[in-house]
Structure 1
Amino acid sequence: MSKKDIRAAAKDFGEARPQWLTQSEFRSGHGKYDLSMALSQISGNVVPLSQPVAQQVFVPSNPQPTFQLPTLPERHTESLIPEKDPNFVKFGFYNDLRKILESKMFYPVFITGLSGNGKTYGSQQLCAQLKRECITVPITIETDESDLLGDKTLIDGNVIFSQGPVVDAMERGAVLILDEVDLASNKIMCLQSIIDGKGVYLKKDNRFVKPAAGFTVIATANTKGKGSDDGRFIGTNVMNEAFLERFKITFEQEYPNQSVEKKILKNTLSSLKEFTPEDEKNVDDLTVWASAIRKTFEEGGIDEVISTRRLVHIVETFHIFGKISKSIELCTNRFDEDTKASFVDLFEKISGGEEIVPAVEDDEEVPF
């Protein structure tokens, strides 16, 4: 081999030039070297081992820890469209709210009314009818920015940011329902820019979230954000006026009229059993009974009221026990003894044929 061949071979193998091979003892001519002579000399110096040499493994004196990137919690990938309730009956603000949601505008709405009259449920069922995704966030005095927008959390030993339901709704263009918003503390003010439709900067994640098309906010409450003077809705708070001012309109939800409530109760019973003439009479009596109680409540004669939700509870209880009188008693047990006794006595008079108020007033019809 020539020196040129040796240099080329060393380069191909990524090795330094073997100076020992170009010594005079391996020269076979001018500029030529005999590799076989070198190999015979090397092989002659090899002594066979009687025991195999154990393979040595290099272990660093200061091993470095290995890290695995944290896996972010999976976001909602399933549909968040509410399930349709076949027993649902449209009433109240339904048509007006439908126009708002169909417009796909950002148009925050405040809905107020007594408990059990379908504020949240009606909004959810409207989303179901329109096939709109809906995220409902229950609000309490303890609800804070972390619950709404997200917070850092520990995943697989690593701290990452897990975004909250409000951010989910913004990114999906969903309808966000703030349920019982008047129970909130002043920490709800973290949503100020969101109710303005301007998005929000997530301080703990160092990014700005802009709402997707279709995103809007519905807030439901038992009060108008001014607290509860009569103590019926203890825990509700006087809300910040600047926060309330950001809602474009307010719907005042009343209890449905007797015609609507009859349809609601009939749908409920029919979904549980075959609807009979006895059921028809019970439904008529219940709606007259509830209407009379509400009228007395509005006039200040009593402190309790029978909600539409309570009527549904009564017919469901009737399906289980088979006696309307027992159902009335069980479902009014939560009231004080005097109130309960007066309610039970009133129903006995109505079911016995004593006329208290007209079953359906002339101008009362199912509006939808």
Structure 2
Amino acid sequence: MTMQRFDVAATFGVKARPGFEVQGFADDTHPQIPVKQPYVFRNELLRDVLAYLHDANGDGMFLTGPTGGGKTSLISQIAARLNWPVQSVTCHGRMELTSLVGQFVLVNGSTQFVHGPLSVAARDGHLLILNESDLMDPSELAGLNDILEGQPLVIAENGGEVIKPHPRFRVFATGNSAGAGDASGVYQGVLRQNLAFMDRFRVVHVGYPDAEIERQVILSSVPKIPGEIADRMIRVADEVRRLFMGSDIEAGELTVTMSTRTLVRWASLSLTFKGAPNVFHYALQQALTARAEPEQREAIHRIAADVFGDYWEAAA
């Protein structure tokens, strides 16, 4: 694939020194390039990912942080703007390495070997994104150790096929933990990962955006929502997150939290049901609190009512 240089400021809508460019691909027609969507990039996270894309130096990149903080969307939207094809997989506790490498399947009455996302990404220079990687059995993930260091991928099942990693091949993993398991007990199914596997990754924490960035995200995704309403929604989200996170020595008082994704959903639903009585209450229930325990649901709605004041009982 033909490479192309992209101006960072123009491509990502951020402040960057004049002439600062990064490499991507010229062909924007590949079916595995993510769909470009409105996105507000945070400078420090963009910097870290672009540095890794420029030179992996034998590393993978592990993005950790709370649910809905934008870990996967960060990578996907960078790839979308650089025309970089992506192989994205959501991991789970029963996933085996063969699901990533490839396996024999029945095609038109005969069996043939079909390469998995890892093999395709390594062969063609795509990005491999392992979403929720800390849900996967660490003994299976350890099978990636060699290829992360640049060693060839040997597929014994396919007659010993050898795939030499493409120079542009990169591996991203995301998780709500940083590989050490979930001490809070909130993220069910998270497993402690193999130390040797985690040692092969650069680790970047993706927290929730600050209020100004989150405001931009809401207004770009739901442009008809009034700015004052968006600000009040963000204030509610901050308080919910504070009660969810707790402190270093005490667990949080809530077992649900309000991600940026949930904020956008709340804003969008508020417009969907515009004109209905108690619209913000109703939209919040669909966006988040219907899955909370009754006491927690009541607490979150009480927080929202206090923040919204007279707006709470009004129509959008």
Q: Is TM more than 0.5 here?
A: yes
Q: Which of the numbers 192, 205, 215 marks the counterpart of 1:238? A: 192
Q: Of 171, 174, 193, which aligns to 2:123?
A: 171
2:72 to 84, 102, 120: 120
Q: Which residue of the partner structure matches residue 265 of structure 1?
A: 218
Between 125-134 and 156-165, report the one with greater CA deviation.
156-165
Which amino acid is the alignment partner of residue 169 of structure 2?
F
Matching residue's letter, 1:195: L
After the TM superposition, which residues 323-342 of structure 1 pair with which residues of structure 2 at under 5 Å, given as runs? 323-331=279-287, 332-342=289-299
Q: CA deviation at 1:145?
A: 2.2
C-alpha separation in 2, matches of 1:172 and 1:179: 20
TM-score (norm 1): 0.69
Q: Counterpart of 1:287 in structure 2: which amino acid?
A: I
Q: Distance in 2 between matches of 1:160 and 1:199?
A: 22
| Contact persistence 1:105–1:216 (CA under 8 A) | no
Deviation at 1:214, TM superposition (A): 0.4
- What is the CA–CA distance in structure 1 between the aligned matches of 2:231 and 2:164, rounded to whole Å? 51
Deviation at 1:329, TM superposition (A): 2.5
Flag structure 2 segments of 5+ consecutive residues without an equivalent. Answer: 1-28, 312-316
1:137 positional shift? 1.2
Deviates more, 1:184-193 or 1:233-242: 184-193
Q: Which residue of 2 aligns with 1:45?
A: none
Cα RMSD (Å): 1.9
**TM-score, with structure 2 as normaliser:** 0.80
Provide the C-alpha distance between the structure 2 equivalents of 1:158 and 1:254, rounded to a whole number of angstroms.
Answer: 48
Residue number in structure 2 paired with 1:358: none
User: 1:21-40 alignment to 2 at 5 Å?
Assistant: none
2:196 counterpart letter in structure 1: A
Q: Does 1:315 align with 2:315?
A: no
Tell me the distance in 1 between the aligned counterparts of 2:98 and 2:30.
Answer: 23
Q: Compute the displacement of 1:245 (Å).
A: 0.9
Q: Identify unmatched segments of 5+ residues in structure 1.
A: 1-76, 355-368
Alignment identity in percent? Answer: 26
- For residues 32-76 of structure 1, give each alpha carbon's deviation from its aligned partner in whole angstroms, at most 9, with x where no partner exists: xxxxxxxxxxxxxxxxxxxxxxxxxxxxxxxxxxxxxxxxxxxxx
Return the offset for 1:155. Answer: 3.0
- Count matched residues: 270
Q: 1:198 aligns with which of 148, 151, 158?
A: 151
CA contact (8 A) 1:113 1:252 kept: yes
Select the structure of larger CA radius of gyration.
1
Find the residue that maps to 1:242 and give its secondary structure.
Answer: helix
| Cα distance change of structure 1 residues 178 and 301 upon mapping to structure 2, 3 Å threshold | closer
AA partner of residue 187 (structure 1):
E
Q: Map of 1:208-247 to 2, 5 A cutoff?
A: 208-247=162-201
What letter is aligned with 2:290? N
Partner of 1:90: 41
CA deviation after TM superposition for structure 1 residue 182, in Å? 0.2
| Residue 147 (structure 1) aligned to one of 85, 99, 103 | 99
Structure 1 residue 311, shift from structure 2 partner: 0.5
Q: In the superposition, relative to structure 1, how do residues 289 and 156 fare at CA in structure 2: closer, same or farther (>3 Å)?
A: closer
The whole-number CA distance in structure 2 between the counterparts of 1:319 and 1:106 is 47
Aligned residue for 1:122, secondary structure, equals helix
